[in-house]
Amino acid sequence: MRKKIIITGILVLVLGAGFTTINNRDLEIVKNLDIYCTLFRELNMFYVDETSPEELVTTSINSMLNELDPYTTYIPEKEMDDFNFQTTGEYGGIGSLIRRADDQIIIADPYENFPAAKSGLRAGDVLVEVSGKKTSGMDISEVSELLKGEPGTMLNVKAKRPYTEEVLDVGMKREKIVITNVPYHGMLSDHTGYIRLSNFTTNASAEVRKAFLDLKKNASFNRLVLDLRSNPGGLMIEAVRTCNLFIDKGELIVSTKGKVKKWDSEYKTTEQALDTEIPIVVLVNRGSASASEIVAGAMQDLDRAVVIGQRTFGKGLVQTTRPLKYNAQLKVTTAKYYIPSGRCIQALDYTHRNEDGSVGAVPDSLISEYETRNGRVVYDGGGIRPDIEVVPENLSEITLRLYTENMFFDYATKFRNTKDTIESPAVFNLTDTEYEAFRDFVTDKDFEYETASEKAFSTLVETAKREKYYQLSEEEFAALKEKLSHNNMKDMETFRAEIQQIMEEEIAGRYYYHSGRIRKQIRNDIQLDKALEVISNTIQVQNILNGKEGTLAKHTVAGAH
């Protein structure tokens, strides 16, 4: 009855206005909401089986939002903790990632100096019980909820340690877990400092500031590599503040423009910079998105840094959270962001979908040229294009399969549980004997995989047999099969360099946590090597930023990273 009154009221207003303010949109909203409520009531009353109203509504909401963009999402009350963690990097718990392996829940990555690590739990440990509740048959989200809780509360964990007879029964106190945005910083050479920035949650800029000031304690420090690779972004204001560390007060970093014009905003630097002179290289890749692209793009547009790596993800959309009833939230895309040159870096056009519903990239015909402060040409329509592109080679098929089949993870677990210490990540290397032990480990696990060539050959054989050509060329098919067939042991030797590098990174992480893994990674990193080469040549850096040297020079270099 109330909805009918609303409709009647709208019609009276429309008629009274002499048809000059007809709002078909409002009428459509009321009409379709009425249809939806009626359908939902009938469905719940007469459907043959019992239904869950909450599941039905959540499914319908998510299906509706799927028609928009992937960043406009519904967050029910039970998922608010996870959402808050994504924006703040904080939660109450034991400080560890967990994952499922077959029918077991295992510790995947304990964070250094938090309860899980301090109590002695290691990556690979199998969680048997949490506070007296057996984890067997539990969903991973259920175990996660058991581990989380108010900081200061106690819990007990029983775990089995693989490759040993050890059973751990440990008590620990939950803490406020704050995931660092800067997992590692240090000196790459006598003069070049390095900061890895992994996220833009609360205090990201403060962590960069602290790392930079720490680097400045080195008397010879006079150039910086800021690594934003695989940084998915986060809080836009933290991106602005991070830029402000190296760009002086009063500079426009990013502006937002959307449907609600009163929400359009400009974000400028508000403080004096720490350092406006030091040469900077910003490293990016295809996983650098959102706030990462604001920093890389603003530093490029203002000719403050040379950007090296790969073209970034291309997320130029801004989200705002809107409160809903019953403590739920709607995270909705409300604007696009524009960096100092005026360009938007959004890569996919969700407004104009293809006929099949798929989303296409911004077409070349709509890509526009812009200029940096010094007159260098830059482009919109698809991420930040680096000044110097360095494209690493793809990993081999066997390396990818060893990773997806958890061979690296499982062997690192065995290695850690049978060897107490290793050298520091800066010098640690697997010996020939240890690499052979890994090959034996893989063999014992009956590891097998099929290459892309073998898959294509199998399809060809099926097609030839169906078309009755196979019998006519059976010998040729047999010969080709022999040439295409791979050998695990041979492949592990052929691609040893990249396999061993990833294995060493995984092992380093077991002893020295996330910072150790990074310290091992940067020892063999072709994109970082290029950054060091460029930043060591002050004249080249200035020539690039002043437009005197051709930018977007493409360097395709061999290497796994």
Q: Is 54 exposed, middle or buried (0-12, 13-18, 19+ CB in 10 A)?
A: exposed
How many other CB atoms sit within 10 Å of the CB of residue 300? 27
pLDDT value for 469: 86
pLDDT value for 8: 42
Find tokens 């240090």 and name the residue. 186
CA-to-CA distance for 335 and 316, rounded, in angstroms? 9
Residue 451 token pair: 């290459």
Going through 19-114 in order, the beta strands assigned E by DSSP cover 73-75, 90-93, 96-101, 104-110
One-letter amino acid of 450:
E
Distances (CA, A) of 117 to 102, 174, 476, 482, 511: 24, 12, 58, 49, 11
How many other CB atoms sit within 10 Å of the CB of residue 35? 10
Distances (CA, A) of 438 to 237, 288, 492: 46, 33, 10
Model pTM? 0.86
Distance of CA 394 to the CA centre of its chain: 19
CB 337 within 8 A of CB 294: yes
Coil/strand/helix, residue 417 = helix
How many other CB atoms sit within 10 Å of the CB of residue 381? 20
How many other CB atoms sit within 10 Å of the CB of residue 557? 12
Coil/strand/helix, residue 163 = coil
Nearest 5°: the CA angle 151, 153, 157 is: 110
Range 118-154 burial, b when 16+ CB lie within 10 A, else e: bbebbbbbbbbebeeeebeebeeeebbebbbbeeeee
Rounded average pLDDT over 388-399: 93
End-to-end CA distance of the chain: 64
Q: Identify the weakest region by mean pLDDT among 48-57, 154-163, 188-197, 429-438.
A: 48-57
Going by pLDDT thresholds of 50, 70 and 90, the confidence category of residue 97 is very high
Of the CATH numbers 3.30.930.10, 3.90.226.10, 1.10.10.10, 2.120.10.30, which one belongs to the domain with range 184-391?
A: 3.90.226.10
To the nearest 10°, the Cα dihedral for 408, 412, 415, 418? Answer: -130
The enclosing H or E element of 500 equals: helix 496-521
Going by pLDDT thresholds of 50, 70 and 90, the confidence category of residue 560 is very low
pLDDT value for 6: 41
The model's pLDDT over 209-224, given as tens digits with 9 standing for 90+, comes to: 999 999 999 999 999 9
- Calculate what percentage of the chain has a pLDDT beyond 90: 73
CA atoms within 13 A on the CB side of 308: 29
Q: Identify the weakest region by mean pLDDT among 23-32, 129-138, 331-340, 529-538.
A: 23-32
The model's pLDDT over 495-530, given as tens digits with 9 standing for 90+, comes to: 999 999 999 999 999 999 999 999 999 999 999 999
The model's pLDDT over 131-186, given as tens digits with 9 standing for 90+, comes to: 999 999 899 989 999 999 999 999 999 999 999 989 999 999 999 999 999 999 99
Distances (CA, A) of 480 to 397, 454, 469: 19, 10, 15
CA-to-CA distance for 435 and 492, rounded, in angstroms? 10
Q: Which of 109, 301, 303, 491 is catalytic?
A: 301
SS3 content of the chain, % helix, strand, coil (to 5): 40, 20, 40
CA-to-CA distance for 452 and 352, rounded, in angstroms? 34
Q: Which of 69, 303, 315, 491 is catalytic?
A: 315
Coil/strand/helix, residue 282 = strand
pLDDT value for 25: 81
Domain 90-178 has CATH 3.90.470.20: no
Q: Which residue has the higher pLDDT, 314 or 487?
A: 314
CA-to-CA distance for 174 and 190, rounded, in angstroms? 41
Cα–Cα nearest to 531, from 387, 356, 350, 381? 387
Cα–Cα nearest to 253, from 132, 337, 376, 156? 337
Residue 548 token pair: 């005197």
Coil/strand/helix, residue 561 = coil
Q: Does the annotation count 458 as an active-site position?
A: no
Q: Residue 551 above 80 pLDDT?
A: no
Rounded average pLDDT over 72-99: 85
Q: What are phi and psi of 83, to 5 degrees?
A: -65, -45
Q: Which residue has the higher pLDDT, 560 or 121?
A: 121
CA-to-CA distance for 509 and 109, rounded, in angstroms? 9
Rounded average pLDDT over 111-127: 96
Q: Identify the weakest region by mean pLDDT among 60-64, 308-312, 384-388, 452-456.
A: 452-456
Sign of torsion over alpha carbons 384, 388, 389, 392: negative
Q: Does the annotation count 139 as an active-site position?
A: no
pLDDT value for 7: 42
Going by pLDDT thresholds of 50, 70 and 90, the confidence category of residue 9 is very low
Going by pLDDT thresholds of 50, 70 and 90, the confidence category of residue 77 is confident
The model's pLDDT over 254-289, given as tens digits with 9 standing for 90+, comes to: 999 998 999 999 999 999 999 999 999 999 999 999
Q: Which of 288, 290, 341, 515 is catalytic?
A: 290
Q: Does the annotation count 315 as an active-site position?
A: yes
Task: Name, in order, each residue with C-beta under 8 angstroms of 134's C-beta and a sequence gap of 6 or more.
Answer: 128
Q: Residue 11 above 70 pLDDT?
A: no
Find tokens 């077959």 and name the residue. 102
Q: What are phi and psi of 255, to 5 degrees?
A: -125, 155
Cα–Cα nearest to 547, from 377, 379, 385? 377
Distances (CA, A) of 207 to 203, 326, 415: 6, 35, 33
CA atoms within 13 A on the CB side of 370: 23
pLDDT value for 550: 55
Domain ranges of the chain: 2-51, 90-178, 184-391, 397-451+486-530
| Mean pLDDT, the chain, integer | 90
Cα–Cα nearest to 500, from 412, 558, 435, 444? 435
